[in-house]
Structure 1
Amino acid sequence: MSEVLSQNEIDSLLSALSTGEIEAESLVAVEEERKIKVYDFKTPNKFSKEHLRTLELIHENFARIISTYLSGQIRKSVKIKIETMQQFTYEEFIRNIANPTVLTIFRLFPLEGNLLFETNPDYVYQILDILLGGTGDKKFKSKEFTDIEKNIITRMNEGLISNLKLAWEDVLEVESEVVGVETNPALNQTLAPNESVALITFSVDLGKNHTFINLCIPFLSVEKILDKLEVQYWFRGRNEADKLESKTKIKERLNGVNIELTGVLGDSNINVQDFLSLKAGDVLTLNKKSTEPVKVKIMNKTYFYGKPGIIGKSRGIQVLDIIDKDVEENE
């Protein structure tokens, strides 16, 4: 606000102007440029960019974990990744999801309140079709879910949500508990309509279909741990002992994974008649010499060159070189 002059100060100023003691140009006020930022009180931004970035890092890890988990459950290759990470109001989130849908309400102790895990109908019907013996490739018509379908997908969602414990372990020790399931999002009154939420949308690539699932984290749930949602805090206090413990845990988990390893000695082309007449003791001529390296495949994909040999009383392959050293492409 501009300063208000008294009558005496005004008279003194006019007198100074008339005598030339003060130039009129010097009295021109230079208004400072004001930086105006638009703020909508209906949709307050409570999450900072730093908080959203940390949540994104946590749930990028969650996406990788549940990709592996879901692939194991349905015996098909699944790729899940974060598509968007945005801040909305709860009303905007509820208004923009399908009806019917499967909205799983759960707690993530010690966080406050309820969180929401939404799996849209396209995703749900595809998973149900595969679990019930189908291929999951056909198109599905939206309809109300039966009690059996809801029970099956609830069990599956409970497994997915339980993996949040692994995703959050670098920030906070958490435990999940499913509170309930709702198929009509309009009936769910978990939060106030104008409450700020962080909405993480995951894309799910399964077979020929591209679907989406959503994780809704209310601001109220993480308000008391906002200091831990800063990258500086996340990596603070990491010493060599912590790093060694993390490496040990990773090795232990990797040791429990079974993979199919195949060594391809070579190829041979024969006609159908010769194939049908094959018997034990027959010899096939391969297209490679015994001194040439063989290709080593993992899950039907070639990764290494190797040399076959004997290890004790067992046959084995010594890895000579990595065929594709681009780690990002192989992830």
Structure 2
Amino acid sequence: MSAEPLSYDFRSPGRLSRERVRALQVANETFARQLSTVLSTTLRTVVHARVQSVRQVTYDEYVRTVPNPSLLAVLTFASQPGSALFQLPMGVVMSVIDRLLGGAGGRNQPIRALSEIETSLVRDLVQRVAAELTYAFENLAPVRAGLDTLESNTQFLQIAAPADPVVSTEVEIRIGDQAATATLCMTLTTLKPILASVQQVAVQAPADGPVAVAARTVEQRLQQVEIDVSVAFREVTLTSAEVFSLAVGDVVPLRHPVAEPLVVAADGVPVASATPGSHGKRLAAQIVTS
């Protein structure tokens, strides 16, 4: 314990346990990584995003820290009550729009509300960002986030009462030599089902053991890894002279019996046999043995 006195704000009491704060920290770090991936693939440049802080504050305290104007995306959830707010500084938004239109996306960008054309360009990007919340929170609870509206001034929207507690996450974004701070504000009403699941996991963890819980998590992740699957005929052996003498129009016998199934391989490892066929207008292979 520290002998130094600590300030305590009775208007914003600490209601989140250490386990819940840690769970939200991990989920938001995953969201930051997904955010950098979405921006990097969209802008075709390297974008870094990292979580700076996860704090519980009142909605009024959060709004005071939001620059005006900013891109304010109101997010709604299919399975949770309440809503959330994803905020991007307008300088970063204008730089993103500049890059989407073929520009260099420099630091000197106009700070103003978006036009209808600019709003349409940003809407698709924000919808992709909102979808990443599903992946970020999937280990805690099913979260299906969607974009509701886009605003530029906090006076035109209010997702919670001024004294209501919210969780504010600050994410540092770096696009080239440009750096800014984005925020994700989620009300406790929205987080309540998620936090309840975190508490349940915390209670069950000692009985199962941390090793067993970690093993199940790794197993679930491995089930989602994408691998290359190929369907191939029997290999053919040719001499180097035969390979060098190949020309357009030559026929190479496969020496694969018509009645013999094809080999289905996952990342080069045979896993099944299949017969060739079609599915609608596409070629297909039907598994016959596994």
The TM-score, its normalising length taken from structure 2, stands at 0.69
Answering whether residue 153 of structure 2 is matched by residue 184 of structure 1, we say: yes
CA distance 1:120–1:138, shift in 2 (3 Å): closer
> Given the alignment, which residue of 63, 79, 82 partners 2:32?
63
Instruction: Map 1:88-237 to 2 at 5 A.
Output: 88-230=57-199, 232=202
- Cα distance in 2 for partners of 1:93, 1:196 equals 10
Aligned residues of 1:111 and 1:221 also touching (Cα < 8 A): yes
Residue number in structure 2 paired with 1:246: 221
Answering whether residue 20 of structure 2 is matched by residue 45 of structure 1, we say: no
> How big is each residue's C-alpha offset from its partner over 1:161-210, in whole Å with a ceiling of 9 and x where there is no partner?
10111111111122112111111112212210011111001111111101
- Cα distance in 1 for partners of 2:116, 2:169 equals 28
- Cα distance in 1 for partners of 2:114, 2:42 equals 21
**What is the number of equivalent residue pairs in this alignment?**
222
- Cα distance in 1 for partners of 2:100, 2:204 equals 38
> How big is each residue's C-alpha offset from its partner over 1:271-301, in whole Å with a ceiling of 9 and x where there is no partner?
xxxxxxxxxxxxxxxxxxxxxxxxxxxxxxx
Query: What amino acid maps onto 2:224 in structure 1?
Result: K
- Cα distance in 1 for partners of 2:32, 2:217 equals 24
Where 1:238 maps in the other structure, the secondary structure is helix
Stretches of structure 2 that go unaligned for 5 or more consecutive residues are: 230-239, 244-290
Query: What amino acid maps onto 2:218 in structure 1?
Result: K
Aligned residues of 2:77 and 2:146 also touching (Cα < 8 A): yes
Query: What amino acid maps onto 2:20 in structure 1?
Result: H
The TM-score, its normalising length taken from structure 1, stands at 0.61
Aligned residues of 1:46 and 1:196 also touching (Cα < 8 A): no
Stretches of structure 1 that go unaligned for 5 or more consecutive residues are: 1-35, 257-309, 314-331
Aligned residues of 1:56 and 1:85 also touching (Cα < 8 A): yes
> How big is each residue's C-alpha offset from its partner over 1:294-330, in whole Å with a ceiling of 9 and x where there is no partner?
xxxxxxxxxxxxxxxx9xx7xxxxxxxxxxxxxxxxx
CA distance 1:191–1:234, shift in 2 (3 Å): farther
Greater Rg over alpha carbons, structure: 1
Aligned residues of 1:228 and 1:234 also touching (Cα < 8 A): no
- Cα distance in 2 for partners of 1:80, 1:234 equals 33
Spell out structure 1 runs of 4+ moving beyond 4 A. 36-39, 233-237, 239-242
- Cα distance in 1 for partners of 2:92, 2:65 equals 16
CA distance 1:37–1:80, shift in 2 (3 Å): closer
**CA RMSD for the aligned pairs?**
2.6
* CA displacement at 1:107 relative to structure 2: 1.4
* CA displacement at 1:124 relative to structure 2: 0.5
Residue number in structure 1 paired with 2:288: none
Instruction: Map 1:272-287 to 2 at 5 A.
Output: none
Aligned residues of 1:123 and 1:212 also touching (Cα < 8 A): no
Identity %: 25
CA distance 1:89–1:168, shift in 2 (3 Å): same
Instruction: Map 1:310-329 to 2 at 5 A.
Output: none
CA distance 1:203–1:233, shift in 2 (3 Å): farther
